[in-house]
């Protein structure tokens, strides 16, 4: 059984006081129909593949984080705080879920959500999370 | 021991401008990336052309085949650009609050073992 990284990330980030002070528990894998107030975070798995097929043990999940902020600076602060946490205390054993062996950060971009007028400020960041059960 | 290679951009540009073989390799890679992005582009239930009518309203989907056909690779100065000319393509790539990100271009770049740099030239990364 491989690790559900979306679920692990959302649960773990909700337990961190640094995140709670910024966005309370507004961390979603699917944004609810009633769109929450800014700032909030969405975690989506956009890809990934097992490192080896046999044994099916190490897994890579490519995750896109969307940080929606009231002002742009809040979104940036949220992104920096999250990445700082993922680069440090996120590593290691998560009881009953799995073990995080590595997090590799990739592209980061400021992509305002144009579906709203005015566009909602959003920083997007991608990271690969390596896990095993 | 780590080795750092500094690439002189003017020298690289000059090399690409004067070497048709190198440009041909770049072109082939750009075409491969374009085809890969096309393959990874989502085509949902709305393969048919034209709007989808729901509750008397017309909706246009980003998951039409014609959006997929708008990927192109073209020469830009000494390099090649892979792009999609659909104005709302960023929604397919990055998602929005009500649309999940499908990221076909980034998946293609990752599968090619390349590195995706958003907004190159603007110095953001």
Of chain A, the percentage scoring pLDDT greater than 70 comes to 100
Contacts of B90 in chain A (CB under 8 A): 111, 114
Contacts of B119 in chain A (CB under 8 A): 109
State the pLDDT at residue B31: 93
- Beta bridge partners, B52, equal B59
Please state whether beta strands A40-47 and A59-68 pair in parallel, antiparallel, or not at all (unpaired).
Answer: antiparallel
State the pLDDT at residue A54: 87
Q: Which of B96, B117, B118 sits opposite A113 (nearest CB)?
A: B96
Q: How far is CA A39 from CA A46, A99, B7, in A?
A: 22, 29, 41
What chain A residue is nearest to B40 in terms of C-alpha separation? A47
The alpha carbon of B74 is separated from its chain's Cα centroid by a whole number of angstroms, namely 11
> Does residue B118 contact residue B124 with C-beta atoms inside 8 Å?
yes
State the pLDDT at residue A61: 93
Interchain CB contact of A126 with B (< 8 Å): yes
> Does residue A111 contact residue B121 with C-beta atoms inside 8 Å?
no
Q: How many CA atoms lie within 13 A of A33 on its CB side?
A: 0
Contacts of A42 in chain B (CB under 8 A): 97
pLDDT digits (tens, 9 = 90+) for B36-78: 999 888 876 544 556 667 788 776 666 667 788 889 998 887 7
User: Which residues are within 8 A (CB) of B7 and not within 5 positions of it... i.e. 6 or more apart?
Assistant: none
Q: Which of B90, B100, B106 sits opposite A111 (nearest CB)?
A: B90
State the pLDDT at residue A96: 86
* A30-48: average pLDDT: 89
Nearest C-alpha neighbor of B79 from the set B2, B23, B10: B23
Burial of A128 (0-12, 13-18, 19+ CB in 10 A): middle
Which single residue is written with the structure tokens 């190490």? A58
State the pLDDT at residue B69: 84
User: Are B96 and A114 a contacting pair at CB < 8 A?
Assistant: yes
Among the listed ranges A40-54, A89-103, B3-17, which one has the minimum average pLDDT value? B3-17
User: Are A108 and B118 a contacting pair at CB < 8 A?
Assistant: yes
Of chain A, the percentage scoring pLDDT greater than 90 comes to 54
Q: Which of B62, B88, B101 to mutate to test the interface with A (most CBs of A within 10 A)?
A: B101
Interchain CB contact of A114 with B (< 8 Å): yes
Which single residue is written with the structure tokens 């393969």? B47
């Amino acid at each position: 059984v491989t690790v559900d990284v979306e679920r692990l990330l959302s649960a773990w980030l909700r337990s961190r006081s640094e995140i709670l002070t910024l966005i309370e528990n507004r961390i979603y894998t699917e944004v609810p129909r009633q769109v929450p107030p800014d700032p909030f975070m969405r975690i989506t798995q956009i890809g990934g593949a097992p490192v080896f097929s046999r044994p099916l043990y190490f897994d890579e999940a490519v995750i896109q984080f969307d940080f929606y902020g009231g002002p742009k600076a809040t979104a940036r602060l949220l992104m920096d705080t999250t990445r700082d946490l993922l680069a440090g205390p996120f590593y290691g054993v998560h009881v009953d879920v799995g073990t995080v062996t590595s997090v590799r950060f990739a592209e980061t971009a400021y992509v305002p959500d144009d579906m709203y007028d005015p566009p909602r400020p959003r920083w997007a960041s991608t990271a690969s999370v390596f896990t095993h059960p | 021991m780590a080795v750092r290679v500094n690439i002189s951009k003017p020298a690289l540009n000059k090399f690409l401008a004067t070497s048709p073989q190198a440009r041909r390799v770049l072109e082939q890679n750009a075409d491969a990336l374009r085809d890969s992005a096309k393959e990874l582009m989502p085509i949902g239930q709305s393969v048919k052309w034209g709007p989808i009518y729901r509750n008397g309203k017309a909706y246009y989907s980003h998951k039409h085949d014609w959006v997929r056909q708008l990927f192109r690779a073209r020469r830009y100065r000494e390099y090649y650009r892979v792009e999609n000319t659909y104005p709302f393509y960023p929604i397919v790539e990055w998602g929005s609050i009500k649309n999940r990100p499908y990221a076909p271009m980034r998946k293609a770049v990752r599968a090619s073992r390349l590195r995706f740099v958003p907004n190159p030239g603007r110095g953001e990364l």
